[in-house]
Amino acid sequence: MLKVFDYIDEILATGAMHQAAHQANLRYYASDLMQHLGENDPALRAVAVRRAMEVCHATGISLDKNFKKVHIFSGEAIEVDWLLSSLASYLFLMNGNPANPLVAKAQLIVLLKMNS
């Protein structure tokens, strides 16, 4: 007698585990990083994310493992935000607005730590 096996629950569980493991590396919201630096302009956030993505693309680093587009509710509207890996967070910071004293200081600290 033939038995029918339904593997959909197992497939969904495996997919959920893979997604959870993947998202565990994407721990930082670009909007949160911007707020810590005293910035709250979605246009500046988009520029920094785009530049960080260009660095990854040019060097062959996976965009999927370092960036995930998400939508957040800001209290007034739904906005685009990004979940970032540690690497993407550093690149995001390095490509932030240098006219902001906190961003400039953070960029300088990262560079000085690389030289020590």
Query: In the prediction, which pLDDT does 39 show?
Result: 86
* Average pLDDT rounded to a whole number, residues 85-99: 91
Which DSSP symbol is given to 39? -
Q: CA torsion 33→35→37→38, rounded to 10°?
A: 170
Which DSSP symbol is given to 72? E
- Residues 104/98, Cβ–Cβ less than 8 Å: yes
pTM: 0.74
**Paired sense of beta strands 67-73 and 78-84, if any:** antiparallel
| pLDDT band (50, 70, 90) for residue 38 | confident
Query: In the prediction, which pLDDT does 21 show?
Result: 45
| pLDDT band (50, 70, 90) for residue 87 | very high
Domain ranges of the chain: 26-115
DSSP lists the bridge partners of residue 69 as: 82
